[in-house]
Amino acid sequence: MQKDSFRKFKKLLNNSQTIAIVTHYSPDGDAIGSSLALYLFLLKLGKKVHVIVPNDYPEFLHWMPGHQKVLNFQDNEAKAAKILLSAELIFTLDFNSYKRLEKLGTIIEKTEAKKILIDHHQQPDQFADLYFHDVAACSTCELIFDFIVGLGEKKLIDKKIAACIYTGIMTDTGSFRYPSVSSRTHLIISELMKTGIVPSDIHGAVYDNYSIDRLKLLGFALNEKLNLVEGLPVAYFSLNEKELARFNYQKGDIEGLVNYPFSVKGIKVCALFNETEDYVKISFRSKGTIDMNQFARNHFNGGGHINAAGGRSDENLAATEKKFRELVKTLF
């Protein structure tokens, strides 16, 4: 845990009028939820604020309040760079290294702005001026709630901000299933519900809004692309570009797929390999103390949490799978 004092946060906030918020590549519910919650909060403080994402995010997050204002770096590189270079303060949310921003990271590195990191991933790089970091938090959204409360501004958490925070907590905990969920998590949810948010509506907006293609892709993957590693409690999927294209793959369509094998008795490690234009994108999941953060860091150019990490491989799909099948033995 690395948390600076609220005296310092307040001082820096009071001294900053123009603020940018950035989050990681391929933003998920927690990345967008935390960015938009903080965005709406800072607007209420009278700040000039921009949210910049490194690339697009799935359509099932487009209903979120503030979505229309998010600037996609890939479509607006010049504009985004201008905002970042002139910002007095940059919040970096839900990531631990500039590497997680891809090209956007090279621009942030050049900025003079002060940085505040709010995150729950393992081992953050030391690029920020102030830290609000805790690996025990179930999500960055939980930390955003604590951050606003810590500033003494709980009264500013309205229904819109609450909806954003709820979404991040819900998606990062697999709908309140993961071991990262604590009694505090539920107390926060209780506080959020007092603003009038309706959890069942938010669940519906996020999880019941997919295409029929996505459901068929899920069926295909479960039926034909699930592999087991002999003698080990390990299961994984690998999907190539052609297979994804067959189901009109859209961003977010395979989110959550990696977890399905856990429903099989005994499975302890799951992985998903999916081919993109440039590299193989990897998701790792585990149960208990099996450390996927370290595994991804050591072997697959990635990292994350103990039970959930990501990585990438510049080798082809078959070679990546082979490497995984060999190395995964070292986890047992």
Residue placing its CB nearer to Mn ion in the complex, 172 or 253: 172
| 257, 221 contact by CB (below 8 A) | yes
Query: How near is the Cβ of 158 to Mn ion at its closest, in Å?
Result: 22
Tell me the DSSP string of 279-326. Answer: SEEEEEEESTT--HHHHHHHHSS-EE-SSEEEEEESS-HHHHHHHHHH
Helix 29-44 to helix 159-172 angle (10° resolution) is 160
- Residue 30 near Mn ion by CB under 5 A: yes
Structure tokens at 100: 């997680």
Residue placing its CB nearer to Mn ion in the complex, 94 or 321: 94
Stretch that binds Mn ion, among 55-63, 86-94, 211-219, 278-286 (CB under 5 A): 86-94
Query: How near is the Cβ of 15 to Mn ion at its closest, in Å?
Result: 28
Please enumerate in sequence order all residues whose Cβ is within 8 A of that of 203, keeping only pairs 6 or more positions apart, or say none: 170, 175
Element (H, E) at 178: none
Q: For the window 104-133, what string marks contact with Mn ion as x by the rule CB under 5 A?
A: ------------------------------
Residue placing its CB nearer to Mn ion in the complex, 117 or 221: 117
Query: How near is the Cβ of 302 to Mn ion at its closest, in Å?
Result: 14
Stretch that binds Mn ion, among 28-36, 110-118, 189-197, 284-292 (CB under 5 A): 28-36
Burial 24-48 (b: 16+ CB within 10 A, else e): bbbbbbbbbbbbbbbbbbbbeeebe
DSSP character at residue 101: G
Residue placing its CB nearer to Mn ion in the complex, 19 or 169: 169
Please enumerate in sequence order all residues whose Cβ is within 8 A of that of 118, keeping only pairs 6 or more positions apart, or say none: 34, 38, 91, 92, 93, 94, 132, 133, 140, 143, 144, 147
**One of 37, 54, 70, 94 touching Mn ion (CB under 5 A):** 94
Query: How near is the Cβ of 178 to Mn ion at its closest, in Å?
Result: 11
Residue placing its CB nearer to Mn ion in the complex, 122 or 238: 122
Q: For the window 167-186, what string marks contact with Mn ion as x by the rule CB under 5 A?
A: -----x--------------
Tell me the DSSP string of 217-270. Answer: HHHHHHHHSEEEETTTTEEEEEE-HHHHHHTT--TTTTTTGGGGGGGSTT--EE
Which residue is at the shortest CB distance from Mn ion?
A: 30
Stretch that binds Mn ion, among 22-30, 36-44, 246-254, 280-288 (CB under 5 A): 22-30
Residue placing its CB nearer to Mn ion in the complex, 34 or 313: 34
- Residue 142 near Mn ion by CB under 5 A: no
Query: How near is the Cβ of 109 to Mn ion at its closest, in Å?
Result: 22
Q: How far apart are CA 285 and CA 280, in angstroms?
A: 17
- Residue 255 near Mn ion by CB under 5 A: no
Q: How far apart are the first and last CA of the chain?
A: 28
Residue placing its CB nearer to Mn ion in the complex, 51 or 235: 51
Query: How near is the Cβ of 117 to Mn ion at its closest, in Å?
Result: 13
Positions in the binding site for Mn ion (CB under 5 A) = 30, 94, 139-140, 172
